[in-house]
Structure 1
Amino acid sequence: MRLLYFGRLAEVAGTRGGEVELPAGVATVAAARDWIAAGNPALGEALASPTVRAVVDDEFAADDRSLKGATELAFIPPVSGG
């Protein structure tokens, strides 16, 4: 699966993402957040913000969204502009 981070999340992660093999028990967006947090607590804290949105295969997704068959999971923080 391709895992992507945008904005400040990429800064906290130290990467914009890449290919990962999710463990068998990671079946939802929420479980992916927990798995990421276990490996990088600072990133986990950033992903826990209620304003960070998950996108699964180009569609915004709730935390209970299944990752079965998904090819991409992205996390997007709020964006401001002017």
Structure 2
Amino acid sequence: MFLMGISSNCSDTSSSTKRGKKRARVRAHFAINGASLCRETCQLFFDVKRAVLYALIQTVNRVIVHRERTGTEGENLNTH
């Protein structure tokens, strides 16, 4: 119930700011079971600090970028 209240509070995940300007950085989008959530709700759900959540995001982004650059499908990728 508590998470439902928080998730309804932070449903704004638009690509523009409240003044109508385009965001300088792309926002990270979080989803649990297909439901879109904000960063605060995701932190509460997984019970992690902000630094831990950002470290996880950076790790995921590094792996995705590495796989896109290689262009080799079906081969073992070195993620070090």
The bucket for the TM-score relative to the shorter chain is: under 0.3
Structure with more helix by fraction: 2
- After TM superposition, the score normalised by the length of structure 1 is 0.27
- After TM superposition, the score normalised by the length of structure 2 is 0.27
Structure with more strand by fraction: 1
Structure whose CA Rg is larger = 2
